[in-house]
Structure 1
Amino acid sequence: MSTDRRRVVVTGIGVVAPGSVGREAFWDMITAGRTATRRITFFDPSRFRSQVAAEVDFHPRQLGLSAQEVHRNDRFVQFAMVAADEAVADSGLRLGVGDAPDAPEPERVGVTLGSAVGATMRLEDEYVNVSDAGRHWLVDPRYGSRFLHQALVPSCGATELAVRFRAQGPATVVSTGCTSGIDAVGYGSQLIEDGDADVVIAGASDAPISPISMACFDTIRATTDNNADPEHASKPFDARRNGFVMGEGAAVMVLEELEHAQRRGAEIYCEVTGYANRCNAFHMTGLRPDGVEMAEALDQALAQGRIDGDEVGYVNAHGSGTKQNDRHETAAVKLSLGQAAYKVPMSSLKSMVGHSLGAIGSIEIAATALAVQRQVVPPTANYEVPDPECDLDYVPKTAREHKVDVAVSVGSGFGGFQSAIVLAKPDRRAS
């Protein structure tokens, strides 16, 4: 094997998102600036401070899952399966299709799946059953599902994908809170760079819209209490913002070694040229306002691809809509890109699809890859009132045609995680 660094490209994309299931429906929605935030319908939210969320209208049987697959798996795994099916079909790779002569060797196919909270919905529902809605401290296991053990271990998602596509290479679950989706794709790209795989099914999924999850974020007042206007409740970078809107969903990418993709004539969305993460070792939920750790992650990710800050054509922001995060992120982009930061379009998808915890990083990478391929930057919906502390170009309300040879997606997570990934047009450099 050559000692040169192996190059990694994206050859397939699958998305399950609020307001849109499927890659093209998702792209149409976010470039139109439509929001999918609404009052919670999964349960009665009236006792909660935050009563809004971005829910997926999801019908797994109609999307190709069998009755047994639906029965066996939590909603977050079902999301991942549907998104992966779309991504693999999009890539043109024949994975999991018997002994197809043109399929990659199973030992050279890996899986990296991110999730912040795993099977939250299944575990909560099962606890209600075995405890008779909390009436009994000693629960009765006779009322638990035969598949309850799968809900306990987050690895069930990666396992299902590995079995589904005969991926016998490395299989990993990445759980780093709200950066899980970036970190899963970043780690998957590193597996290919290091020669441990030629193809990696990489992405993230979360389905956290449940009473226990909403209670957790109510307690720390991280979610918005703008219940009167759910459609406009998520306001990243806007002076009126007061917290994020909970979301759910999944996105899965097929990552492939460049020459492997070229030999089979695959369509290539973009190249993953760099990835880095940092931990601020500062506070479980707090952020330093100077953004140093995120800036360091962004600097290192750019350096891996030998990319200067002034080459960046788009920043896909974490943009959660909390006051401290938006301020921290704005400072980090300025620190990393310098004066170029003021010229770069930067937008937050969470204004439209909410914050799906671990999944959102992969959903944002999917959007960033499409932005590079199509040279269009999605907007920040609901951005109307500028905040003097957030003074960059946040692409208010309307998508913008723009030259995007290089784009970055950044994320910030509870626990102090800060991650950045860089995507570029594959023909940006000759070798």
Structure 2
Amino acid sequence: MPEDHGGRRVVVTGIGVVAPGAVGTKQYWEMLTAGRTATRTISRFDASQFRSRVAAECDFDPVRAGLTRRQIRRWDRTCQFAVVAAREALADSGVLDALRPERTGVMVGTACGMTISLDQEYAVVSDEGATWLVEEAHASPYLFDYFVPSSMSAEVAWLVEAEGPVGIVSTGCTSGIDVLSHASDLIRDGEADVMIAGASDAAISPITVACFDAIKATTPRNDQPQTASRPFDRTRDGFALGEGSAIFVLEELGHARRRGAHVYAEIAGYSSRSNAFSMTGLRPDGAELSAAIDDALDKARVDVSGIDYINAHGSATKQNDLHETNAYKRSLGKHAYTTPISSIKSMIGHSLGAICSLEVAACALAVEHDVIPPTANLHEPDPLCDLDYVPLVARERRTDVVLSVASGFGGFQSAIVLTDPDRRTP
């Protein structure tokens, strides 16, 4: 049993995904297990002036996804992703008829909020940056919503008329784990029976690309965009920016069982730490990430020998992949060498606040299907990253306990444990 909160346990009963290369959970899982990459040359704007011109973009048609033209006009791309993913998760769970508004909540995570709309609106009101005193009369009437990311949570809440806890979690690149942890705590503590929770980011814009260019965090492998993201490979040289959303229906286990819901996985434990060291740097020993892993496993009551799969942060930067490898060795000891690990950022890029929720979706599907997605583009393993990083080809394996981890700017380190609530033995 995971950590006791009056016996209340939290399970995933619905998943919705908007991802590079796949809109929809079924297509997403098929893409990941096939090892297909969605990274390409940036097409959403002219990126010719930038050092890194590679990204994993979503082929997202909002009209085909069921949004009205008014919604498209009003909502930033980040919000569009979240609403579409939430609709899929709700339909997948079949929970709508069982919802009580006062016992239903919404939590959405994001790192960058409404970046694209803010970028575009600033260009309009400043006459492409020519004027210091902007002309607010030219701004969109929805500009306030773009400034306040919680407007996205409100839009999702209105889908289900949620009257319980509704809010936003923004902790950078760990947001997608942290938001699920917070939503799970609300269920465990009795504040809600159902939470619609996950993360969304659509930040492939000039301002974002420029920021990562400045610190040389993104890959300059512009002549090979499909293989540019190379986690744990000797030739890795930075991450590929991404975008997307994954939203989940989380339920108290008894609530789910009473209505006969299909359960993908249980959220059994989670933890977060800060390295208090650097805004962008990581200590090579991985001590803080290791501490988050240890605490998450302890809360889930899982021994390191029981981990069947680790979904890595695996950003493909030189320092992150080494830091992460050392964290696994520190926490798992000898089991680190026999535990399969992979990074799906090799296929869908790094969508900042959204990526961890997309990774948790992959973890829940791994528990569901007993398949581990591969690390694409891993042809020349770094000798310093000498663990089993599941190169190139998916692997069939009984997967009852999955660990997913994340590192974020600001020194944030988070970990979450998903289990099969029926098959695993604590």
Match for residue 195 of structure 2?
200
Moved over 4 A (4+): none
Alignment of 1:240-251 (within 5 A): 240-251=235-246
Separation in 2, partners of 1:429, 1:30:
24
- Give the distance between the partners of 2:306 and 2:116, measured in 1 at CA: 42
Alignment partner of 1:72 is 2:67: no
- Offset of 1:165 from its aligned partner? 1.4
Question: Any residues of structure 2 matched to 1:291-310 within 5 Å, and which?
Answer: 291-310=286-305
Determine the structure 1 residue equivalent to 2:364. 369
In structure 2, the residue matched to 1:99 is none
Q: Residues 20 and 56 of structure 2 are in contact (CA less than 8 Å); yes or no, is this contact kept in structure 1?
A: yes
CA distance in 2, matches of 1:3, 1:63: 38
- Structure 1 segment 176-187 matched on structure 2, within 5 A: 176-187=171-182
Alpha-carbon distance between aligned partners in 2 of 1:57 and 1:428, rounded to the nearest angstrom: 37
Distance 1:3 1:243 in 2: 41
Distance 1:284 1:376 in 2: 36
CA shift, 1:93, in A, is 0.9
Give yes or no for the alignment of 1:315 onto 2:310: yes
- 1:103 CA displacement: 2.8
2:361 aligned with 1:359, yes or no?
A: no
1:115-160 alpha-carbon deviations (Å, 9 max, x no partner): 0000000000001111111111111112111001100011111111
Cα shift at 1:49: 0.3
Measured against aligned partners, the alpha-carbon deviations of 1:345-403 in whole angstroms (never above 9, x if no partner) come to: 10001000000000000000000000011000000000010111100001001000011
Local SS of the residue matching 1:27: helix
Q: 1:31 aligns with which of 33, 48, 55?
A: 33
Q: Which residue of 1 aligns with 2:17?
A: 15
Q: Distance in 1 between the 2:5 and 2:25 partners?
A: 36
Is 1:270 the counterpart of 2:265 in the alignment?
Answer: yes
Match of 2:63 in 1: 61
Q: Deviations over 1:3-62 (max 9, x none)?
A: 633100000000000010000000000100000000000111110000010000111111
State which of 220, 229, 244 in structure 1 corresponds to 2:215: 220
> For 2:17 and 2:143, how far apart are their aligned partners in 1?
27
Residue 130 of structure 2 is matched in structure 1 by 135
Q: Please list the CA deviations of residues 301-331 of structure 1 after superposition, one character each: whole Å capped at 9, or x if unmatched.
A: 1111211000000000000000100000111
Could you tell me how far 1:430 is from its partner in structure 2?
Answer: 8.1
Rounded Cα–Cα distance in structure 1 between residues aligned with 2:423 and 2:8: 16
What is the match of residue 327 of structure 2?
332
Separation in 1, partners of 2:42, 2:408 = 24
Task: Say which of 241, 252, 264 aligns to 2:247.
Answer: 252
Match of 1:97 in 2: none
Aligned to 1:91: 93
What percent of counterpart residues are identical? 60
SS at match of 1:249: strand
User: Is 1:261 matched with 2:263?
Assistant: no
d(CA) in 2 for partners of 1:103, 1:313: 33
Aligned to 1:105: 100
Q: Distance in 2 between matches of 1:395 and 1:385?
A: 12
Give the CA RMSD over aligned residues: 1.1
Instruction: Give the whole-Å Cα distance in 2 for the aligned partners of 1:231 and 1:397.
Output: 14
Instruction: Provide the rounded CA distance (Å) in 1 between the counterparts of 2:417 and 2:6.
Output: 19
Amino acid at match of 1:93: V
Distance (Å, rounded) in 1 between the aligned partners of 2:75 and 2:160? 17
In structure 2, C-alpha distance between the alignment counterparts of 1:296 and 1:314, rounded to whole Å: 18
Q: Give the partner amino acid of 1:417.
A: F
Partner SS for 1:303: helix
Tell me the equivalent position of 1:419.
Answer: 414
Per-residue Cα deviation, 1:255-306 (whole angstroms, up to 9, x for no partner) = 0000000000000001010010001110000000111111111111111121
User: Is 1:40 aligned to 2:42, yes or no?
Assistant: yes
Distance 1:30 1:351 in 2: 10
Aligned position for 2:282: 287
Q: What letter corresponds to residue 226 of structure 1 in structure 2?
A: R
In the alignment, is the contact (CA less than 8 A) between 2:309 and 2:339 conserved in 1?
yes
- Match for 1:232 among 227, 233, 251? 227
- Partner of 1:248, secondary structure, is strand
Once the two structures are TM-superposed, the CA of residue 428 in structure 1 deviates from its matched residue by: 3.2
1:239 aligned counterpart, secondary structure: coil
The alignment partner of 1:71 has SS state of helix
